[in-house]
Amino acid sequence: MLRETLSVMRDLPRLHTIASVLIHYGWGDVVRMLGLARVLERAGKLLHWHTSDEVAKLDLPVRIRLAMTDLGPTFVKLGQILATRVDVFPPGWIAEFEQLHSKVPPVSFDLLRPLLEVKYGRPLDELFDDLETTAFAAASIAQVHRAKLKDGTPVVLKIRRPDIVEKVEADLRILAHLARLVEFEMPELRRYRPIQIVAQLRRSLMNELDLAKEARNLSVFARNFVDDDTVRVPKVYWDYCGEIVNVQEELRGVPAGDLAGARAAGMDLRVLSERGADAVLKMILVHGHYHADPHPGNIIFLPGNRVGMLDFGMVGRLTEARRAQLTDFLGALINKDEQALLNVLTVWAGDAEVDEDKLAFDLTEIIFSYDDLPLREIRIAPLLSDVTAVLRENHLAIPPDLTLLFKALITLEGLGHQLNPEFHMVDHLEPFVLEVIEERYSPGVLFRRIKRGFHDLGEVVTSLPRDLARLLRQARRGRMRIDLDLKRLDHFGQQLNDAANRLTVGVLTASLVIGSSIIMTVPQAPYMLGLFGFLLAMANGIWLVYSIWRSGKE
């Protein structure tokens, strides 16, 4: 499978880099197991199988983090996503993944200027004043420059780095192939859902690469908070936005990490912690569209104890059904209801096998350990950590679309405690959960649900005769088809195909030997034709032996 899927030659240089970095950090066995070495050797690219003694002494999670850092933005982003998988990785691994940052030196503005002038169709001096050619912030995907519009409005230009798209797309193709290989060939790792993780990575990176999408996110959040004067989202200047650049209002205030500066500016840290928590919880539970990375670097404090939010490249979205499940989950945690918690977790487990008795016992143990604590003393981060530890022990995983959300909640609680040691996340969480539950059972919502249910039932009833008639016609004509999704069927088919090919070559080789022997024994027959037949048969025989030997190694 890997040999075929990685046959596209354009990815071989990047594949060589990835394999070399993995070997350098002591992952040579993984390179061999995945078949990367064979692919590269056949393409004429040599690998140096050497790991330094200093690297070999490092702990495994540290080596993984260093390898991801060296491999660049795609793998850094993958590590950041894995840092949200507290249901899969133990705390030591999560701590290493959390150290992954995509801060890199900015590229020269001389490389960016031609791209921007092609996009705008005119010189930048005609659009902006005081454009700073030195970036004041830079990451692996984009960098930020200050400027002013012609009317004097302070803005920032977020500009995508050149050539980043091609590199990310090559990485994503390779990771997608490897994820499929792992899921098909390593059943013990299937529960980690590698294909879903890579799909989540692709969505996240594609959204971040298109800076116009971030501008749209800004507009959505600004619209959601249009009536809330305690929260500020930068205004977007759409006339200057596109895929490689977005231009937005510059919010000037005190960074959330500068507590001394906030106190010096006369700001109330307790009020700021409450307003920040309420804003993020409102995004999650009410809007279903939330800032997925609310760390101090993406939050700024403005005069009047207002909270400004920046960098909307990473956002999360929740469907109505998922929001309902999340509300039930949080409500079960707040109310210490292990049965309700069990119900939600079994839904999230999907098709995975669940030992409900063991899971129920483990959840009861967690609830019991918090039983003596007053509600306001319960911290969300340790509680979620305990729940995800239970999931790991029961070989279950949280749906990928919720891992970012749990990480956001934990980050938000940590920031709240930095601002106010008396901050209690549950005090802010409980009112939102109760409000959402009450709204779910309000007369208007119930009427809409009943109406939708009757509509769906009517569709099923009216389409049933037509569907049955079609099924019977197909059965009479012998055209009824049943699709079976067998995980290893493709691989088995490939093995049969390879065996048939070797058998065909073997028959042809035998035919060449017999035919050449006859030619060379017949007087006045073309001797060179018989010799050529023998040489071709010998070449086929060598290839056949090598092919059989190689198949035993794979």
Q: Is 405 left (phi over 0), alpha (psi -120 to 50) or beta?
A: alpha
Distances 275 to 113, 305, 306, 378 between C-alpha atoms, Å: 40, 9, 8, 20
The size of the chain, in residues, is 554
- Can you tell me whether residue 160 is helix, strand or coil? strand
Spot the catalytic one: 210, 293, 311, 362.
293
Sign of the torsion angle spanned by Cα atoms 341, 343, 347, 352: positive
- Rounded CA-CA distance 74/92 in Å is 22
Host H or E run for residue 128? strand 128-129
β-strands 142-149, 137-138 pairing: antiparallel
Is residue 293 part of the annotated active site? The answer reads yes
Q: 544 burial class (0-12, 13-18, 19+ CB within 10 angstroms)?
A: middle
Q: 185 burial class (0-12, 13-18, 19+ CB within 10 angstroms)?
A: middle
β-strands 306-309, 231-232 pairing: parallel
Distances 173 to 66, 107, 194, 202, 315 between C-alpha atoms, Å: 22, 26, 14, 10, 23
Known catalytic residues? 293
